[in-house]
């Protein structure tokens, strides 16, 4: 289900997975610092889990946002079950949880399954 057209290949050494023809970064303990905290672009991080139905519900909107803003924004997905330490470090207590990182810091947080237009409204002020 997440991503909507296939599963994340957790065994792959490639940190980028094609979700609905968009490039989203599969985040892990190994690449979180380089892909998120040291990114020159703002980063929308989707903290999710496979069992989370609201996470599945917003996945298509996240993929569309990644495609629309690909030149101005990086989008990453972090499986909280695979990386609970990172989720805890950034205060993720419920999912779906979207955090916008800018200059290595959390600039905005969106908790819950919110409509795509609300995500965009809160995202664009950080681009």
Could you give the CA distance from residue 63 to residue 121 in angstroms, rounded to a whole number?
16
DSSP β-bridge partners for residue 108? 100
- In the sheet that holds 97-102, the strands lie side by side as 16-19, 22-26, 74-79, 43-48, 97-102, 105-111
- Give yes or no: 6 in active site: no
CB 17 within 8 A of CB 8: yes
Q: Which helix (H) or strand (E) holds 48?
A: strand 43-48
Examine the residue annotation and report whether 52 is marked as an active-site residue of this protein.
yes
Half-sphere exposure of 36 (CA within 13 A, CB side): 28
Residue 85: CB atoms within 10 Å: 9
Catalytic residue among 43, 44, 45, 52: 52
Catalytic one among 25, 26, 45, 55?
A: 55
Give the active site residues. Answer: 52, 55
């Amino acid at each position: 289900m997440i991503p909507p057209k296939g599963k994340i290949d957790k065994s792959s050494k490639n940190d980028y997975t094609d979700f609905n023809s968009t490039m989203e970064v599969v985040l892990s303990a190994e690449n979180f610092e380089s892909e998120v905290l040291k990114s020159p672009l703002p980063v929308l991080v989707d903290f999710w889990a496979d069992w989370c139905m609201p996470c599945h519900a917003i996945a298509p909107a996240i993929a569309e946002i990644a495609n629309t803003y690909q030149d101005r924004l990086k989008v990453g997905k972090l499986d909280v079950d695979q990386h609970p330490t990172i989720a805890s470090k950034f205060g993720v207590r419920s999912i779906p949880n979207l955090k916008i990182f800018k200059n290595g810091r959390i600039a905005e947080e969106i908790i819950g399954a919110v409509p795509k237009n609300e995500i965009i409204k809160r995202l664009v002020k950080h681009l």
